[in-house]
Amino acid sequence: MCRDRDNYHSISVRNRVFSKLGDLTKKVLPGTELSRAKVVEKLVNDSHSSLNANEAINEIRQQRQKI
């Protein structure tokens, strides 16, 4: 199987983190077992969306304070 280097990269995590990822495979989406890679993908995407939303809210607040 040849991987597409434009779509995937590899990361290293400590053994403790890898073990925790194993625990999360059944908990992130109840009723569904995800791969460790999908757990990382979902958690990163959720965190990124949350941070972007918070940044947008802060920007709106700053604009309102200027008015």
Long-range pairs for 9-15: beta carbons < 8 A, 24 or more residues apart? 11/40
pLDDT in tens, 28-64: 999 999 999 999 999 999 998 888 887 888 788 887 7
Each residue's pLDDT tens digit, 9-30: 889 999 999 999 999 999 999 9
Q: What is the pTM of this model?
A: 0.71
CB 42 within 8 A of CB 34: yes
> 59 CB contacts (<8 Å, ≥6 apart)?
none
In this prediction, residue 3 has a pLDDT band, given cuts at 50, 70 and 90, of low
In order of 14, 38, 53, 61, the CA distances from 45 in angstroms are 21, 10, 12, 24
